Amino acid sequence: MPASTSTIAAKDGAGATIAGGLIAQDKSGAGTGPFAAAHVIVDAQGVNIGTVKAASTAVVAGDTAVAVGLHPTSPLPAGTNVIGTVRNLGNAGGVMDFAGQNAAAPASAMLIGGEFNTTPTTITTGNASPLQLDNAGNLLVNIKAGAGSGGTAIADEAAFTEGTTSFTPIGGVFKTSQTALTTGQAGAVALSAAREMNTLGKVWDGTNTAAVKAASTAPVAGDAALVVAISPNSVNANGQAAMAASAPVTLSTDQKYQTGMSPKGFAAAFTTLTRPANTTAYTAGNSISNSTTAGSVTALSATVSDTNNDPVTLTDILLSTSDTGAAGKRIRAHVFNSDPTASTGVVNGDGAAYSNKRAGYIGSFSGVLETGFSDGSVGRLVPTFNDGAASPTPNAPAGGLVVAMPTSGAKTLFIQFQAVDGFTPLSASTWIATARGFQGRAA
């Protein structure tokens, strides 16, 4: 059956009739009355140009559309209105959005505004507020508690004003034993217990590292050396200077010198002899020692040289004693360069005839102790020789000097005493001999 049609007057926004009109036709051809089925809108030629559906029915692919313009006096109704996809374009029509990080820059961009308030409003929970600016247009940023603050950027070689210019402090950590880092790791600066920054104890030029050690620590093979030049302004001018104005220099103990005599004199005291606590009289030729028992006699030594094995020249021996009984009496000193008590070298002790082995003997010195001292006596002993008891002057001064080597590998000489004249000593008197002379030099 042919489709029934009816004419619908169509008017424009000004109320004028649209030429040709619009024809409403039942799509199924069921008539022109109110349509119970789906409706279509066709043009005057009957061509299907738009599907009419209930607002709750979704469109599907293939639906034809009719263009509808909103009347300026008929805006969208109040409430939520679904209008589909909406794009924001810039003032010149450019796209303003972009996809994620490192994407191509859009043609336009939206500006974010801020607000300046002399006293910003306190925001309550859930409320929003514009970003705050200062009166120069700078964005105000408040560092959250717990984060670093107070830092600043400063240009290289810029002026620094103490108490005014801000800077970012650095932190460090003190540990008695620092944990070593491995390549690629970060770490805190190491501090001492006094909060001083550790400098690693090294001097580094980027390639070579010179270890800094205590002065008491000897260098070892493989230590990198720090080459230091002495400034010409830090050394003494040509010529000698007082000791207080001169740099100290320590010579090695095995320093080699030119062979020959040295002008340096010495006065070296031997170990003090304290004789036994008795007043047993000495007869001529008796030994004066610390014990009446030969095996208990101790060695009396003196260091006479600065360097091991340096020869010495003995000029005399100054003998000082607290024993007033020895005043005006002749005393003889026997000198050795090895311990005379070693290997049972002492045959007789104090008060018996002097008898000793000859190992290490270098010479004897004799002299008369002075009188006139209320607290003892003192005398100068010089090199002598024994010309026999029958001589008017036994153990007479021989004159000259005694040149000798000290103990092998050392700087020591030893001494023993003998009474040339008899006398009654004081109990436990002390005897101190001081060797005097010049140091030589080891070959």
Could you read off the pLDDT of 36-84 as tens digits, one per residue? 444 556 655 666 566 666 667 777 777 766 656 556 666 667 777 777 6
β-strands 131-133, 172-174: how paired? Answer: unpaired
Q: What are phi and psi of 432, to 5 degrees?
A: -125, 120
Q: Is 90 exceeded by the pLDDT of residue 320?
A: yes
Give yes or no for a contact between 276 and 291, defined as CB atoms under 8 angstroms apart. Answer: yes
Confidence of residue 366 (pLDDT cuts 50, 70, 90): very high
HSE value, Cβ hemisphere, 13 Å, CA-based, for 366: 19
Which among 245, 250, 218 has a CA at the least distance from the CA of 234?
245
Query: Quick check: 404 pLDDT over 60?
Result: yes
- Please report the pLDDT score of residue 306 as a whole number: 86
- Angle CA 20–23–27, to nearest 5: 155
CB 419 within 8 A of CB 285: yes
Segment among 6-15, 123-132, 182-191, 316-325 with least mean pLDDT: 6-15
- Residue 47 belongs to what domain range? 5-11+19-51
What DSSP element (H or E) covers 334? Answer: strand 330-336
Q: Count the domains in the chain.
A: 2
CA–CA dist 335, 299 (Å, integer): 11
Is residue 221 assigned to a domain?
no
Classify residue 278: in a domain, yes or no: yes
* Alpha carbon distance 393, 385 (integer Å): 10
The tokens for 424 are 């009654």
**Average pLDDT of the segment spanning 229-235:** 65
Question: Within 13 A of 233's CA, how many CA atoms are on the CB side?
Answer: 0
Domain assignment present for residue 129? The answer is: no
Cβ atoms within 10 Å, residue 385: 13
Domain annotation covers residue 341: yes
Q: Is residue 254 part of a domain?
A: no
Report helix, strand or coil for 49: strand
Task: Provide the 8-state DSSP code for 11.
Answer: B
Position 361 pLDDT exceeds 80 = yes
Long-range pairs for 245-249: beta carbons < 8 A, 24 or more residues apart: none
User: Is residue 340 one of the residues assigned to a domain?
Assistant: yes
pLDDT at residue number 271: 97
Would you say residue 1 has pLDDT above 70? no
With residue 333 as reference, give the H or E element that holds it: strand 330-336
- Is there a domain that residue 72 lies in? no
What's the rounded mean pLDDT across residues 283-301?
96
CA distance 143 to 301: 80
Give me the pLDDT at residue 418, please: 95
Q: How far apart are CA 133 and CA 120, in angstroms?
A: 10
Backbone dihedral region for residue 134 (phi beyond 0: left; psi -120 to 50: alpha; all else: beta):
beta
Other CB atoms within a 10 A radius of the CB of residue 81 amount to: 8
Residues 341 and 359 sit within 8 Å (Cβ to Cβ): no
* pLDDT of 322 over the 50 cut: yes
d(CA 305, CA 257): 14
Helix ranges, 328-418 (H): none
Beta-ladder partners of 382: 366
Distance CA 95, CA 80 (A): 26
Q: How many CA atoms lie within 13 A of 263 on its CB side?
A: 0
Say if 394 falls within a structural domain.
yes
What's the pLDDT score for residue 314?
Answer: 94
* Residue 290 main-chain phi, psi, to 5 deg: -90, -10
Name, of 143-152, 232-241, 309-318, the range with top average pLDDT. Answer: 309-318
